[in-house]
Amino acid sequence: MKKMLLGVLLLFPACIAGAQAQKSYGNLYNPQADARAEIRQAVARAGREHKNVLLQIGGNWCIWCIRFHHLVETQDILRRLMSDNFIFLPVNYDQQHKNDSLWGDLGYPQRFGFPVFVVLDETGKEIHIQNSAYLEEGSGHSVSKVAEFLGQWSPAAIQGKTIKR
């Protein structure tokens, strides 16, 4: 009986953690959005503004997705790099949409986990997929690593205008 009680007590925290992992962490992503239409609109805007498009693939269920967005929004250098160089678009990924052909068109970015970033140029051509794990440091995303990533995939960098000689 004691072993059974101990087993139940050991499983209880795991059940709570699993339930918490299923909850929503915010409203960054719109599960009802037409991702293809939103991407077309972002690319059209990027073309007009001569920026790239940064797709953040994830979901409101993903605490790391919400934390990344919060970091970019609260750090002046990251917010400036994002607004100066990218049209930002969160793209929802969930069980209901996991078989959408969009993922194949984007190079199956979900293979890297979440969040994952897809950079499109101003014409809509995919130019990079970024595993967010490379932007982490300690228990969160690194401001310096994220700044470096945003700088390296800016339109000026891709055109060779930021190369140090």
Single-letter residue type at 131:
N
> What is the predicted pLDDT for the residue at 8?
44
Specify the 3-state DSSP secondary structure of 90. strand
Instruction: State pLDDT tens for residues 63-119.
Output: 999 999 999 999 999 999 999 999 999 999 998 878 889 999 999 999 999 999 999
Average confidence (pLDDT) over 19-30:
71
The whole-number pLDDT of residue 20 equals 47
Q: Are 63 and 25 in contact (CB under 8 A)?
A: yes
Confidence of residue 24 (pLDDT cuts 50, 70, 90): low
CATH number of the structural domain 22-158? 3.40.30.10
Separation CA 112–CA 147 (nearest Å): 20
Per the model's pLDDT, the better-predicted residue between 18 and 1 turns out to be 1
| Average pLDDT estimate for 141-164 | 94
Q: What is the SS3 assignment for 59? A: coil
pTM comes to 0.84
Domain boundaries along the sequence of the chain = 22-158
Tell whether omega for the bond before 115 is within 30 degrees of 0, i.e. cis.
Answer: yes
Count H helices and E strands in the chain, helices first: 7, 6
Residue 127 and residue 158 in contact, taking contact as beta carbons nearer than 8 Å: yes
